[in-house]
Amino acid sequence: MNALDTAAIQAAIGTPLDFVVAKRLTVLDAHCRRFIELAPFVCLGTVGPDGDCDVSPRGDPPGFVRILDDRTLALPERPGNRLADSLRNVAENGQVGMLFIVPGIEETLRVNGRGRVTDDAELLASMTVGGKPPRLAIVVEVEEAFLHCAKAFKRSRLWDPAAQVERSALPTLGQILRDQVTHPDTADAEKLEVEIQEEYRTQLY
C-alpha cells in the first residue's frame, strides 16, 4: 500500500477556502469560551517523548474545563486507571490537542497548545466536585482554537435517537476484560462487572 506525501494529499483533497484558514484563532474569543462553558466532555490528545500518541476521554459537569484567561485552560485530573498516560505525555512532551463536545450540538471546538501538569492547591480547590478536589490538573496554553463543522456528526448521526445502539449489542466490560486479560482478578466476569459498577457509583471523584 502506497503512502502519499503532503503534496499528493493536498492535490487529492483540494485547497481550503481562505476563510477556513483564517478561522484558526490564537486566543479564545467569546464564542470559544461559551462553547467550553457548555461542554461536559472533551477528548484529550497527547504525544509522548518518542512520538507515541494517546487520546483520552474526559467528562464532568458542563464547564469543568476552567477558562483562566483568553489563552489558558485548566483540565482537572479525576480518578481513573492510574496509568497516567496523558499526564506523563504532557510532562515529557507538552503537546496537547483538545476536542470539545456539547450534547445535541453537531459542531465541535478544537483547541491545540502546550500543557503542563500542576498541583496548585488554589486551582485544584476551584475544581472541587462532590466535596472532592482533583489531585492534579493539566494547564494548557492555547496556541490555536477553531470551530469544526458538523459533517462528521451528521454522517455518524451521533445525536440521532434512532441511531443509538443498545448496550446489549456488546458484552459487559467485565466479560470483555475476562476474554482479553489472563489474570485472577478477571477470571469471574460477573463478579468483575459488579465491582466495575460499584466503582462507577462510588469512585467517580
CA distance linking residue 74 with residue 64, whole number of Å: 9
Please tell me whether residues 186 and 126 are part of one structural domain.
no
39 belongs to a structural domain: yes
Distance between CA atoms of residues 43 and 62, nearest Å: 14
Task: Looking at the structure, tell me whether residues 55 and 139 fall in a common domain.
Answer: yes
Q: Which residues contact 124 (CB under 8 A, 6 or more apart)?
A: 76, 133, 134, 135, 136, 137
105 and 178 both lie in a single domain? no
Is beta strand 108-118 parallel, antiparallel or unpaired with respect to 66-69?
unpaired
The whole-number pLDDT of residue 146 equals: 97
Residue 82 in 3-state DSSP? coil
Order of strands, edge to edge, in the sheet holding 41-47? 53-59, 41-47, 95-101, 108-118, 136-148, 72-77, 66-69
In the listed set 156, 173, 190, which residue is the last one of a domain according to the structure? 156
Are 152 and 58 in the same domain?
A: yes
Looking at the fold, whether 103 and 176 belong to one and the same domain comes out as: no
The verdict on residue 1 lying in a domain is: no
Domain that holds residue 172: 165-202
Instruction: Note whether residue 88 is domain-resident.
Output: yes
Domain boundary among 133, 156, 179: 156
Compute the C-alpha angle 43/47/48, nearest 5°. Answer: 135
Are 185 and 114 within one domain? no
pLDDT at 151: 97
Check whether residue 144 and residue 191 sit in a common domain. no
For residue 63, is it within any domain? yes
Same domain, 123 and 186: no
* Count of beta carbons in the 10 Å neighbourhood of residue 205: 14
pLDDT for 153: 97
Residues 47 and 91 in one domain: yes
| 106 in the same domain as 27 | yes
Return d(Cα 169, Cα 167) in angstroms, integer: 5
What's the confidence (pLDDT) of residue 97? 98
- Is residue 90 a part of any domain in this protein? yes
Residues 45 and 100 in one domain: yes
Whether 184 maps to a domain, the answer reads yes
Count of domains observed in the chain: 2
Is there a domain that residue 110 lies in? yes
Global pTM reads 0.94
pLDDT in tens, the chain (205 residues): 999 999 999 999 989 888 878 789 999 999 999 999 999 999 999 999 999 999 999 999 999 999 999 999 999 999 988 999 999 999 999 999 999 999 999 999 999 999 999 999 999 999 999 999 999 999 999 999 999 999 999 999 999 999 999 999 999 999 999 999 999 999 999 999 999 999 999 999 9
Q: Which CATH number belongs to the domain containing residue 83 in this structure? A: 2.30.110.10
96 lies in the same domain as 192: no
- Identify the pLDDT of residue 19: 82
- Residue carrying the nine cell digits 496523558: 86
Q: How far apart are CA 95 and CA 115, in angstroms?
A: 6
